[in-house]
């Protein structure tokens, strides 16, 4: 096997393992051995996009386009680079080139919709998602992106529901729990519910406003959050126990923190607005620090 091919295969394998810096090193070796292969700068551009080195990604992708202007993925990657650099208007030309070369290129459609949304051309973005739905070609990431536009334009009903696609689109860190998930349909009176973080700490703080509402419905709330948030959120009204690790007591149901707005059917006119909803001082039981929570 030629060294360049071996290095290319290694780079691809490392890319799939999200070892982007290592993958980039092998791509550079490929480029040294065979400098005019269009697949090499294309791969380099992809890796640099994942590393968020967008200016360099744009240079690599433009070089790949010069070597092979008929590659729809390269056109899409140039658009993606421009979009990531804040040039949504310029990116549209490249997404359209990708779609001209491959008319049913789903990634090109979803990226174009994201660019249109950034430009506040919402009707055009929605038309793209209508097309993808009609052709049965939308993806979990597309549904997730659509939900963000729906939220931005005030359609909370569709937006909160669409955000549940995050489980397939992004696979957020969340334990495998055998107890049923609560999304608002069943009564929780007298039930013990674990509310477990599934997104960032900012989202966790934002959605903590729903915890007292669960208590008002008669639930016994156990909260599992990142360790830095335990001193703050253990003092939220109605939270009986707050953990970052250790063994969680027996419980009946669970709800991801990011799904609480859906469970309470939040609309623009029903966003919980009690001020303050966070305690002025921390309180509640200390969390264990011996590893990830064990949910039994």
Compute the distance between CA of residue 88 and CA of residue 125 in angstroms, rounded to an integer: 13
Whether 221 and 148 have beta carbons less than 8 Å apart is answered as no
For the chain, the domains span 3-169, 192-295
Query: In which band, very low, low, confident or very high, does the pLDDT at 123 lie, cut at 50, 70 and 90?
Result: very high
Compute the distance between CA of residue 296 and CA of residue 294 in angstroms, rounded to an integer: 6
pTM value is 0.81
Query: In which band, very low, low, confident or very high, does the pLDDT at 295 lie, cut at 50, 70 and 90?
Result: low
- The pLDDT tens digits of the residues spanning 238-262 come to 899 999 977 789 999 999 999 999 9
Phi, psi of 153 (to 5 degrees): -95, 10
pLDDT at 6 over 80: no
Note the maximum CA span of the chain.
68
pLDDT for 270? 92
pLDDT at 1 over 70: no
Compute the distance between CA of residue 291 and CA of residue 296 in angstroms, rounded to an integer: 15
3-class secondary structure, 224:
strand
Task: Indicate the fold that domain 3-169 takes in CATH.
Answer: 1.25.40
Which residue carries 């290095």 as its tokens? 7
- The pLDDT tens digits of the residues spanning 50-60 come to 999 999 999 99
């Amino acid at each position: 096997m030629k060294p360049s091919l071996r290095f290319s295969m290694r780079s691809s394998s490392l890319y799939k393992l999200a070892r982007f810096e290592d993958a980039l090193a092998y791509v550079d070796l490929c480029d040294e051995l065979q400098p005019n292969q269009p697949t090499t700068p294309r791969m380099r551009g992809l890796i640099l996009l994942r590393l968020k080195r967008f200016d360099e990604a744009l240079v690599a992708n433009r070089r790949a386009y010069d070597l092979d202007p008929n590659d729809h993925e390269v056109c899409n990657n140039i658009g993606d680079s421009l979009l990531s650099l804040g040039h949504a208007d310029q990116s549209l030309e490249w997404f359209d080139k990708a779609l001209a070369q491959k008319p049913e290129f789903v990634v090109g459609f979803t990226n174009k919709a994201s660019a249109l949304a950034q430009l506040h051309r919402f009707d055009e973005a929605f038309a793209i998602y209508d097309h993808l739905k009609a052709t049965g070609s939308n993806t979990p990431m597309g549904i997730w992106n659509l939900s963000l536009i729906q939220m931005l334009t005030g359609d909370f009903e569709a937006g909160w529901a669409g955000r549940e696609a995050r489980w397939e689109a992004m696979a957020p860190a969340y334990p495998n729990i055998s107890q049923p998930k609560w999304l608002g349909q069943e009564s929780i009176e007298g039930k013990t519910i674990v509310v477990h973080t599934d997104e960032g700490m900012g989202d966790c703080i934002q959605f903590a406003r729903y915890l007292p509402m669960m208590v008002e419905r008669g639930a016994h709330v156990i909260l599992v959050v990142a360790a830095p948030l335990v001193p703050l959120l253990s003092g939220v009204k109605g939270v009986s126990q707050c953990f970052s690790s250790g063994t969680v007591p027996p419980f009946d149901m669970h709800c991801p923190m990011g799904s609480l707005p859906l469970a309470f059917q939040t609309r623009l006119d029903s966003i919980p607005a009690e001020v303050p909803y966070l305690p002025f001082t921390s309180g509640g039981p200390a969390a264990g620090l011996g590893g990830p929570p064990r949910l039994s």
